[in-house]
Amino acid sequence: MKKEKWRFGRQEVAGSLGDLGTLLPLAVGMVVINGLDPVGLFFSVGLLYVLGGIYYDAPIAVQPMKVVGAYAVATAATAGQITATGWIMAVLLLFLGVTGLVNAVARMVPRPVVRGVQLSTGLLLMSKAVSFLAGSSPFQVGEGLNEPWLTVQSIPVPGLGDVPIGLIIGPLLLLLTLFFLDSKRFPAGILVVAGGLVLGLALGGWHGLGSITAGLHLPEFLPFGPPKVTDLLWALPALALPQLPMTVGNAVIANRDLSHELFPHTRTRVTDRALCISMGLANAVAAVLGGMPLCHGAGGLAAHYRFGARTNGSNLMIGSLFVLLAVLFGAGMLSLVRLLPFFALGVLLFFAGGQLALTVADVERSEDLFTVLTVAAVALGSNLAWGFAVGVLVGWLVRRWNIRM
């Protein structure tokens, strides 16, 4: 039976929306706080979704680079510094991919380390989801609001006082998602996003819609000018080098492993070299258009799959939507994005993380499980780059000395 190449049913629609919880908060943060161009940012995201799906012949994730995004927002880095990071990442990833050096790196990484990266990323996503519901994520704390885009922030509960609205509505959406998680008639992803948009409108998210005007808003070429030497020298040690190990571990090796597991037909297309090259090209385009550094995160792929994505159709739909909204509404697209509350994004993120973390279920040997847990412990205690590096060392020692546990 020939594999269906494109599908556009409800399941694919739901799957296409599965990774919004990872994408939107950092994207909006880097536009509002760091001054990135919203048209170029969302246009480049949509373009990579469409072209990535066509090339890889399967769902593929498009996400902000987490280390870059989080640090840039926390330090209020300039738009020039962020686009300089995109240029650096483009060069590094293209070098690893074109030379094939990434294949040598991948051969050095034991399978339990890959599972450890997936477990760590999954747990981090689930933890971030809880912070979205509780209103304690860095972006929410920085804005001083549980739901920065809504007028209603909390609900008075007898005996408890004012409770963040996310802690009331979020668990209800979580239960709804559990109930409809495998429903084909009412896909959970559509219910969460549609319900979130309706609640966002009802709770005050509509206030910014009056300023939206339709028109033709094409991305600007080099809106912040060519990369400056000072920005490149700052971005290399501060953002690019800390990001690179995480990108190789999660967006290349772990992503390739998960793609082959979920979509076996991608073994010849989704390779370490191909992922490096596509991300390198994507970051070059994003930098030219004033957007954010991008990657193919394993967590995003797990999210798309968990909510129903099975074909390139999901990529084409979400990618075309981002391109269309960016070109049609320009900066006004931010007002549309803000209709989706953090508690809805948190629900999507929670199940995305859970799907990715569950990949450890096939780890049987206690020695391998120790390596997995080592990666997770170091990653959760410091960051994923250190978890990846320590995991490689521990995994190699366990194999080299034939350690038994």
Chain segment 81-110, per-residue pLDDT in tens: 999 999 999 999 999 999 999 999 888 888
CA distance 61 to 162: 37
Residue 108 CB-density burial (10 A; 0-12 exposed, 13-18 middle, 19+ buried): exposed
Residue 87 lies in a domain: yes
CA distance 332 to 32: 12
CA distance 298 to 144: 31
> Which pLDDT belongs to residue 76?
83
Residue located via tokens 């700052």: 234
Residue 2 DSSP SS3: coil
Angle, nearest 10°, between helix axes 20-32 and 38-56?
150
How would DSSP label each residue in 42-110? HHHHHHHHHHHHHHHTS----EE-HHHHHHHHHHT--HHHHHHHHHHHHHHHHHHHHH-HHHHHHHTS-
Residue 23 lies in a domain: yes
> Which pLDDT belongs to residue 399?
80
Do the Cβ atoms of 311 and 4 come closer than 8 Å? yes
Residue 7 CB-density burial (10 A; 0-12 exposed, 13-18 middle, 19+ buried): middle
Residue 2 lies in a domain: no
CA 372, 375, 377 angle in degrees (round to 5)?
Answer: 105
Which residue intervals of 248-296 are DSSP H helices? 255-262, 272-289
Residue 5 lies in a domain: no
Residue 330 lies in a domain: yes
Report residues of the chain scoring pLDDT below 70.
1-4
> Which pLDDT belongs to residue 144?
87
> Which pLDDT belongs to residue 400?
78
Which residues, other chains included, contact 154 with Cβ-Cβ below 8 Å and sequence gap of 6+? Answer: 146, 162, 163, 164, 165
- Write phi, then psi, for 63 (nearest 5 degrees): -135, 160
Beta bridge partners of 237: none
Q: Which domain holds residue 225?
A: 10-400
Do the Cβ atoms of 320 and 47 come closer than 8 Å? no
Q: Annotate 35-59 with b (16+ C-beta within 10 A) or e (fewer).
A: bbbbbbbbbbbbbbbbbbbebbbbb
Do the Cβ atoms of 134 and 164 come closer than 8 Å? yes
> Which pLDDT belongs to residue 130?
92
Give strand ranges (E) for 145-281. 154-157, 161-164
CA 315, 320, 321 angle in degrees (round to 5)?
Answer: 105
> Which pLDDT belongs to residue 4?
63
CA distance 170 to 130: 9
> Which pLDDT belongs to residue 3?
57
Residue 1 lies in a domain: no
CA distance 358 to 142: 32
Q: Give just the sign of the alpha carbon dihedral 6, 274, 51, 316.
A: positive
CA distance 266 to 305: 14
Strand pairing category for 294-295 and 154-157: unpaired
Count of domains observed in the chain: 1
Which residues, other chains included, contact 397 with Cβ-Cβ below 8 Å and sequence gap of 6+? Answer: 403
Q: What kind and span of H or E run contains 295?
A: strand 294-295
CA distance 8 to 6: 7
Chain segment 358-383, per-residue pLDDT in tens: 888 888 888 899 999 999 999 888 87
Q: Give just the sign of the alpha carbon dihedral 289, 287, 239, 131.
A: positive
Residue 405 lies in a domain: no
